Amino acid sequence: MAVLPPADDLRLRLAAAEREVGLHSAVFRRTPVPLVVVAGDGAVRALNDAAARLCGTSLGSATGHAAGELLGPANGEAVHAALGSLRAAESGGPYPVRVGGQDAVLVAVALDVAHADGFALLAILDLAAAP
């Protein structure tokens, strides 16, 4: 028979886990690099504040739509190539894109998420900011 930890211990562990999730969420949201999380089918699952500003949208408006729509039809081929590259490797890119009137590159990274296959992170890197 398993021995359960005391309720106080569980509450402390839950509070620590909530703080950790909150920290990761804040880092993602506030990172100045535009980031978009997409599902295996290319649908937008999340984007940070920088991506929302660059693409002229909000999380609520972008969620569920294709990443190619978010970044604009002219970038559809780059998005498709970036996501397609993840089938063979853990990352793909850089792929040139033009978003919000700015030249940039798109980089894709596979995300290892428990119980969720095929998630990827798209980073839109500003060429003007490169050294």
Q: In the predicted model, is pLDDT for residue 113 greater than 70?
A: yes
Note the CATH architecture for domain 32-129.
2-Layer Sandwich (3.30)
Supply 66's token pair.
């294709």
For the chain, counts of helices (H) and of strands (E): 5, 5
Number of other residues whose CB lies within 10 A of the CB of residue 94: 15
Q: In the predicted model, is pLDDT for residue 115 greater than 70?
A: no
User: Domain boundaries in the chain?
Assistant: 1-30, 32-129
| Residue 70: burial class (beta carbons within 10 Å; 0-12, 13-18, 19+) | buried
pLDDT digits (tens, 9 = 90+) for 37-96: 999 888 999 999 999 999 999 888 899 999 989 998 899 899 999 988 887 778 888 999
The answer to whether residues 24 and 35 touch, using CB atoms and an 8 Å cutoff, is no
Cross-strand partners of 113: 116
Q: Name the percent of the chain lying above pLDDT 70.
A: 91
Model confidence, pTM: 0.82
